[in-house]
Amino acid sequence: MATDTFLRQLSDDGLHLPEIKLHSLEKLQRHNYYARVFATAMRKKWPQLAYVGLYSGAGRARVVPEGEIVETTAMSVLRLPDPFTHYIFVDSDPDCVSALKQRVAVVPRRNVQVIHGDVAATASTVRQALPSYGPGRGLLSFCFIDPFSTDFKFDVIRQLGDLRMDFLILLMLGWDARVNFTRYYEDTQSTRIADLIDCPNWRAEWKSQGSTDVVGFLLRKFNEAMVRVGYLPAPESALHRVTASGKNVFQYVLAFFSKHQLGQDFWKETLAGNSDQMGLGL
């Protein structure tokens, strides 16, 4: 599959357009590639395939400063040749929610729900929105978690992770965690890192290990948290580090977790694409 299939340039439809940076394009393409491989391979095997997009955005965005308008993950998953049977999106920004609802309305897909709210506060709503499952009505889900920062609570995964659900998570470990780590460490009232890695005593562990590798520490702790809720440990190769286009400045990690090796195999295939082809050639 050619990588350009996974990033659509669009014109202005007059609805809300959040701004994104060039380095977000790789996220869009990797996500779109994975979603397509997953849905195509699993559609015939599972009667119900659900997609959950947490921090879903508006479905389109403007790349700044370049100005191009691109389709973002929420709309791309609706256009898959082998679609999911159910879609649930969550965003707290009323402008994003309103625009996404209007964009979704013109796509001929049933079972699409756009939830307006805080991801941490709506996990139970998402759960209720998923289709019921049982013998003959098996449910397999894929959840993409795409926050702006490390302000994500692992508890959301705990509330969903007992299901058969694979997770692709953007961990904002470059900008944010690495840049602000000293502040989060010294502000003992801050629970941001503890909430992210599900480890209230992380400061003592960080101090005792005597390392300066913030990103390595957080990835190890996040991986351990996923294993505790039943996921396979993600190999280092599944924790994909993305740098700013044209510069060697680390931005974020795309981390993939599944309970089954097949999920990791799909993600490996997704990452096998040449990173140089990512983006719009801008």
Ligand X SMILES: C[S@@+](CC[C@H](N)C(=O)[O-])C[C@H]1O[C@@H](n2cnc3c(N)ncnc32)[C@H](O)[C@@H]1O
Do residues 71 and 84 make contact, with C-beta atoms less than 8 angstroms apart?
A: no
Does position 168 bind ligand X by CB under 6 A? no
Residues comprising the chain, all counted: 282
| DSSP conformation class of 164 | S
Shortest gap between Cβ of 73 and ligand X (angstroms)? 3
Does position 155 bind ligand X by CB under 6 A? no
Binding mask 6-25 for ligand X (x = CB under 6 A): ------------x-------
Q: Tell me which H or E stretch contains 98.
A: helix 94-105
Q: Which stretch binds ligand X (CB under 6 A): 141-149, 194-202, 223-231, 235-243?
A: 141-149
Nearer to ligand X, 57 or 259 (CB): 57
- How far apart CA 165 and CA 143 sit, in angstroms, is 7
Does position 64 bind ligand X by CB under 6 A? no
Burial of 128 (0-12, 13-18, 19+ CB in 10 A): exposed
Shortest gap between Cβ of 232 and ligand X (angstroms)? 25
| DSSP conformation class of 173 | I
Do residues 132 and 106 make contact, with C-beta atoms less than 8 angstroms apart?
A: no
- Pick from 3, 32, 56, 258 the residue near ligand X by CB under 6 A: 56
Do residues 212 and 230 make contact, with C-beta atoms less than 8 angstroms apart?
A: no
Q: 3-class SS at 84?
A: coil
Shortest gap between Cβ of 56 and ligand X (angstroms)? 5
Shortest gap between Cβ of 213 and ligand X (angstroms)? 25
Shortest gap between Cβ of 125 and ligand X (angstroms)? 12
**Which of 123, 100, 96, 124 lies closest to 113 in space, CA to CA?**
100
- Pick from 118, 155, 187, 265 the residue near ligand X by CB under 6 A: 118
The binding site for ligand X (CB under 6 A) comprises 18, 55-57, 61, 72-73, 90-93, 96, 118-119, 146-148
